Structure 1
Amino acid sequence: MELQTMAKTFKFLREQCGLSLSDFNVVGISKQNIATFESAKSMIKIDTLESALQFMGIHLDSFLTLVDNKAIFRRYGKVFHDFREQREFLLTDFQNIGLSELGLSLFEEGKIMLNFDVIDAGLQMMHVPLSEYSYALNFGTEENFVVIYHDLNQAYFKADWDKIKYIYEEAKHHKDYQMVAYSAKACLEPLNEFEITEVSTYFFGLEDWTPSELKAFILICKNLETDTIRLIIKDFIRNKTLYDYRIGYHNLIIRAALTVSFILINREEYEFARLILKNCQTLFMDRDEYARISFNFVTGYFYFKHEDKEHGLEEMKQAIKLFKQLGDVQTYNRFRSLYQQYVK
């Protein structure tokens, strides 16, 4: 990385912030030190550079990305910008979460990437669900599948069987949409032996799961043998680090884990279910209220079936009550239906 490029980039940031060379005295950096660096006469110490950047509200990693001049995160910033404009937030409105006007501007232009916790905090300020941001983010990369699986999931939660049948009939005639067809059919009736082999082979062959493939697994997994589920999960965990910083993935992974746990409990595979639920707890983030309530429902079902029936019933009833209090009729009806089907 050339000193001249770093110096030029630093000077650009300083001028964008409206700072003079002497303004850095407040963080213990002399005017001469900054001037020498900006003139590319000598490299500034890395800890001094980091302090100067923090003073301007810029993370060191973001600075280095800007120096490289690689707009590799352009869509993240564009989608954030679109939500900010829609909700009429200014660039200056995010300073209380440590996001400077300049830093946000560079992010929205696709020149730097922000830390995930900063993006998440900004979305919370704008009351944008992480799932909605993720959906907008993924749209355009696998856009047809994103839209179809969104519609399929909505239809499934609303018990709109006619819509699911329509998706199945449309998808089953097209080779590229076979997984969509299997996902839709799995909502309506059990898959046959050939189809189970097809989907099992497909999931085993995935090296990098997309959100659509996670949604397909959630809908299909009840058709798979326990040993097959075990092997697929083992294979997924082997590459889990691929998804640690992908926005929205952790919610889908939690949904998949809870769906599998519920299936295993019904199959009396209690130790396997206990292991998945235990690992599921490590995935929660601060505002995962719905995921936590869903987790409590499934955990309650585990207690009901295996350890403490009365305690389990209370946990499940409390979870359903919370969904009702939140005013989410669709989710409330879904969990109430599960309760009536498997408990009463």
Structure 2
Amino acid sequence: MKQKSQNYGTCFKELRQLAGFKYKDLESIISKNGIVRFENGTSNISFERLAELLKFMGYTLSDFMYLSGESRVDEVYGEKFHIIRYQQGYRDDFFIPVGVNPVRLRLFESGKILLPYDVIDAMLGLMHVPEQDFSYIINGSKDDYFIHYVNWLDIIQQTEDVKTAKIIEDEVHQYANYQEIKLTILEEEVKPLAYSDEWLELHSQERLTRQYTDYRVLELTAKACHQILNDEEVTEISDFLFGIELWLEYSLGILALNAWQLPYSLVYAIISDINLHEK
């Protein structure tokens, strides 16, 4: 019990110092001696008093429980959110209107706490980022499979390994066809569904469409490593790149591998856009 009290006290001290509060700033709620004893682990305070102190400093009890290790944190949410915020160019004080100050945001993005889903949704709304886009990224829209092959194709392109490039192109082509078949079947099934079920199916349909696009683009990128793409294929790659709002490792890899075959004006426009937004 004493060990847990010490952990709670250490956690509280960290939050207090991060928020820049001194003992005197909290005296209206608890005395300096009370805070010192709590932070040293020599005494406890009630959860009601703890919640009041945390709220005064701009935190929640949930923040405290995550930081103290009582609740498990899934770090991917904060990690991906940071990528989006950074690429969109929003400051760390932009989310104060929805109750997330810079300190809480930093703890969230560093994987130390997990913000409530409705708060994350509100923050995405402020940035005009659709919730489904964030969910898609969280659920592995560009998972290890795609990153692995982009890195592999980078080596293949440098070594001019035509044989392996063709093998990858054929393999990914099969996955692209499989996704296209699933999409066709789902389109037929959506028609008779009730509205609520239809919404769920359409959401799944959107994921399938994106998965098909991912595989198709990877297929064309593999092909580009051993032969010139035709005009229609260049247009497919161009449309994919033009539609990207969040430049992650996968999309940057696709741009790099195909840049030599794309119109100069397109590549210039994309790089200019990235630099403009300091992505």
TM-score bracket, normalised by the shorter chain, equals 0.5 to 0.7
**1:169: how far off?**
7.1
**1:48: how far off?**
0.4
Distance 1:87 1:169 in 2: 33
**1:219: how far off?**
3.3
Distance 1:42 1:141 in 2: 48
RMSD (CA atoms): 3.6
Map 1:1-344 onto structure 2 (within 5 A): 2-26=4-28, 28-68=29-69, 72-139=73-140, 170-171=174-175, 180=179, 182-186=181-185, 218-219=186-187, 221=189, 255-256=199-200
Identity value in percent:
32
Equivalent residue of 1:68, what SS? coil
Residues 93 and 256 of structure 1: CA distance in aligned 2, closer, same or farther (over 3 Å): closer
Equivalent residue of 1:61, what SS? helix
**1:184: how far off?**
3.7
Would you say the 8 A contact 1:56–1:100 is kept in 2? no
Would you say the 8 A contact 1:182–1:220 is kept in 2? no
**1:86: how far off?**
1.2
Aligned length, in residue pairs: 178
TM-score by length of structure 2 reads 0.54
**1:94: how far off?**
1.5
Residues 184 and 170 of structure 1: CA distance in aligned 2, closer, same or farther (over 3 Å): farther
Distance 1:38 1:118 in 2: 29
**1:78: how far off?**
0.9
TM-score by length of structure 1 reads 0.45
Q: What are structure 2's unaligned runs of at least 5 residues?
A: 147-169, 204-279
**1:98: how far off?**
1.0
Equivalent residue of 2:30, what SS? coil
What whole-Å deviation, never above 9, does each CA across 1:240-269 have from its counterpart, x for those lacking one? xxxxxxxxxxx996623689xxxxxxxxxx
Amino acid at match of 1:53: L
Would you say the 8 A contact 1:183–1:220 is kept in 2? no
Distance 1:112 1:221 in 2: 41
Distance 1:139 1:39 in 2: 42
Distance 2:142 2:73 in 1: 14
In structure 1, the residue matched to 2:232 is: none
